[in-house]
Amino acid sequence: MKRSIIAVAASILMASNLASAKPLELEDVFDLEYANQIEFSHDAELVYFVRNRMDIKTDKKVSNIWSVNVKTKQLLPVTSGVHIDYAPTLSPQGDRLAFISTRDGSSQIYVKWLSSGAVAKISNLTQSPNSLSWTPDGKSIVFSQFVPEAAKTPVSLKGKPKGATWAKPPVFIDDVFYRADGAGYSKSGFTHIFKIDANGGNAQQLTSGRFNHGGQVSFSGDGNTLYFSANRHPDYELKVINSEVYSLDMKTLEIKAVTQRVGPDRAPAVSPNGRFLAYIGYDDKRTNYENAHVYVIDLEKSESRVLTQDLDRSVESIQWDSKSRGLYYSYDSQGQTVVAHQPLNSKAKIITEQVGSVSFGRPYSGGDFDVSVKGDVAFTMADTQRPADVGVVQRGKTQRLTQLNEDALANKTLGKVEELWVKSKHDQLDIQGWIVYPPNFDQSKKYPLVLEIHGGPVANYGPHFSAEAQLFAAKGNVVLYMNPRGSDSYGKTFAQTIHHNYPSNDFDDLMTGVDEVIKKGFIDESRLFVTGGSGGGVLTAWTVGHTDRFAAAVVAKPVINWFSFVLTADFYPYFADYWFPGKPWEHTEHYMKRSPISYVGNVKTPTMLLTGDADYRTPISETEQYYQALKLQGVETAMVRIPDASHGITARPSNLMNKVAYIQWWFDKHSNK
């Protein structure tokens, strides 16, 4: 009797909670949090991480460092304040935590003494530091920093009277890379590696030359040699991914190349016993994609071998185990990020497949992990219903240590996400996707369908939390997102199907997915919509140029004309060399055959464009071309320009809200026309 009363009470409470739950709304974006930048304490009892939230007053991300106890799950703040604290890095002795903070208005290096709680700013840099690493003795911190050079001014006018007001002088540019998305027009100079005393002082520059140095570094056991990655080749500006691993003598500052091949070699990591040097790389074959593998050099014998030759996936990050017997590494597989352990002399073992993305706007894969001396793995843990928390794997068992979004999402009804596999109508190739259902979905009703296409094009979506997809679902849409051919996480052959062939049959893959969802019987075929950003914007524009089945489309930050794109994008030497068989004027027909602008005469679908006006990756001139072409063609169109936004439009929360709101407005405007 008592049990039945409890059961009835529980069911009533559950029904009450469901009745009071509401769909996700635009302003809820400011309530979301996520964890990243994982760091294990040396005793494996604490996990340090960066806790990110959105500040509604400044419309920016705010980050602080927190710790969570692995046994008790107790959360404690390590830093606080309305600013950005990031890059937590423990000293070799485990007694101090170095980090970077913007708390005084610029990015500087800070150290916290964990026993006393004392915090000190140890740098007074003129440029932002990156990639903190402690020297093995704990006395110094190594970091990278941009070193500006004097601006080039070959012409200097004379004759300006005292007190006169003349126009600003011209800006002279002769560098290959002169602007970068998210950073704007570049200043003259190079990034170098520095060392600073852990108790504060002046930083010493360790590297030299007119090359950029930075990223992950690693020390020999005695601390006398520093390993780093850089592209120090004479033609580095045009051969942009041909980096090597170098060694630097900390006493003489002499630099020597450790690797010597055509291809990117990066992320050097010395084993704890000092005998081996691991790094990530591949042989450059000028394709759109190659699997990055783990290489290991025996420093005693100067012999190198590939450790992950049998893995048909691309390795993202590596970390040695404490006994120098193997490496932990992460990679993406079928839209999910995996952490595995690869012994030096036996087969790999998967540790977890639950690594969650730290990009909560759209459902991209990725995430962070760290390994304790005991072999425990802490990682960013997320799923379709929650952004990244901190999780841990101990002795094969996985548990979630934090619940950062229960206050924001526990009373929200989110859309269920379901995996979908189809065989492409082009060649029966297996294609993976996911369906996001509206909250309180009713199989007997008819719903609009939104096809949302990922960028890249070599990237992947997966079963991860997506604020944008959930917001569309909350408005009563069924959302379909897929990984068409060319996506990574399915092996080298799958990714290379679009080599010099993009867009092409990836369009067929997407249409196969749409057809499969329609077959389920709950889609209103008069309300089919399509959108996507970057590479997804390319495919959206390609789609409306090849079919008129969609009621409306929103093309976000697209490439419309490959010819003009290669000649205006920030990373243009790479695009010309790897995405195409040659320069635009040498292969005009090929460029234009793959350009959505070539098919604008076929477009009948009402198509809106949306791009940041400070986008230098897919410059807004691409958007303007398509807008004007559609106007000339008499197609209903509109252009939405996001002020001051780069390619990463949603870096500011309100821009994510605006993006979703404008897309939904356009779809509503053309619903049932």
Report the alpha-carbon distance of residue 449 to residue 447 in Å, rounded: 6
pLDDT at position 10 over 50: no
pLDDT level of residue 379 (50, 70, 90 thresholds) = very high
Residue 348 has a pLDDT of 95
Integer CA distances (angstroms), 47 to 38, 63, 67, 385, 402, in order = 7, 16, 5, 23, 11
Task: Answer yes or no: pTM beyond 0.85.
Answer: yes
What are the pLDDT digits (tens) for 108-124?
999 999 999 999 999 99
pLDDT at position 281 over 80: yes
Label each residue of 313-325 as H, E or C. CCEEEEEECCCCC
Q: Which two tokens stand for residue 653?
A: 């929360």
Contacts of 306 (CB under 8 A, 6+ apart): 293, 294, 295
Report the alpha-carbon distance of residue 315 to residue 249 in Å, rounded: 28
One-letter amino acid for residue 238 of the chain: L
Residue 20 has a pLDDT of 60
Contacts of 349 (CB under 8 A, 6+ apart): 340, 341
- C-alpha 359: how far from its chain's center? 7
Please state the rounded mean pLDDT for residues 576-582: 95
**Is the distance from CB of 378 to CB of 351 less than 8 angstroms?**
no
pLDDT level of residue 140 (50, 70, 90 thresholds) = very high
What are the pLDDT digits (tens) for 403-441?
999 999 999 999 999 999 999 999 999 999 999 999 999
For all residues of the chain together, what is the average pLDDT?
94
pLDDT at position 654 over 50: yes
Integer CA distances (angstroms), 609 to 429, 539, 553, in order = 31, 13, 9
Strands (E) in 114-188, as ranges, are 119-121, 129-134, 140-148, 179-180, 184-185
- Written as one string, the DSSP assignment of 606-620 is -EEEEEETT-TTTTH
pLDDT at position 329 over 90: yes
Q: How many helices (H) and strands (E) does the chain have?
A: 11, 40
Q: Which two tokens stand for residue 120?
A: 């000190």
Residue 218 has a pLDDT of 97
Report the alpha-carbon distance of residue 334 to residue 421 in Å, rounded: 11
Phi, psi of 140 (to 5 degrees): -140, 165
**Is the distance from CB of 494 to CB of 485 less than 8 angstroms?**
yes
pLDDT at position 547 over 50: yes
Strand, coil or helix: 63: strand
pLDDT level of residue 1 (50, 70, 90 thresholds) = very low
Report the alpha-carbon distance of residue 473 to residue 385 in Å, rounded: 13
**Is the distance from CB of 230 to CB of 243 less than 8 angstroms?**
yes
- Written as one string, the DSSP assignment of 451-480 is EEE-SSSS--B-S---HHHHHHHHTT-EEE
Residue 602 has a pLDDT of 98
Phi, psi of 643 (to 5 degrees): -60, 135
**Is the distance from CB of 483 to CB of 433 less than 8 angstroms?**
yes
Tokens 């404008």 belong to residue: 662
Q: Which residues pair with 53 in a beta bridge?
A: 33, 62
Report the alpha-carbon distance of residue 545 to residue 604 in Å, rounded: 8
Residue 673 has a pLDDT of 60
**Is the distance from CB of 350 to CB of 396 less than 8 angstroms?**
no
Burial of 233 (0-12, 13-18, 19+ CB in 10 A): middle
Sign of the four-CA dihedral 91, 97, 103, 104:
negative
What are the pLDDT digits (tens) for 227-252?
999 999 999 999 999 999 999 999 99
For the chain, how are helix, strand and coil distributed in percent, rounded to 5? 20, 35, 45
Integer CA distances (angstroms), 284 to 213, 236, 278, 456, 509, in order = 20, 14, 19, 19, 28
Phi, psi of 660 (to 5 degrees): -65, -45
Strand, coil or helix: 340: strand
pLDDT at position 585 over 60: yes
β-strand 22-23 against 412-413: which pairing, if any? Answer: parallel
**Is the distance from CB of 49 to CB of 38 less than 8 angstroms?**
yes
Please tell me the least confidently modeled range out of 19-28, 214-223, 474-483.
19-28
Q: Which two tokens stand for residue 58?
A: 């400044």
Max CA pair span of the chain: 100
- Backbone region of residue 274 per phi and psi (left: phi > 0; alpha: psi in -120 to 50; beta: other values): left
The DSSP output letter for 514 is H
- Written as one string, the DSSP assignment of 242-300 is --EEEEEETTT--EEES--SSS-EEEEEE-TTSSEEEEEE----S-S----EEEEEETT
pLDDT at position 165 over 80: yes
Question: How many other C-beta atoms lie within 10 A of the C-beta of residue 660?
Answer: 23
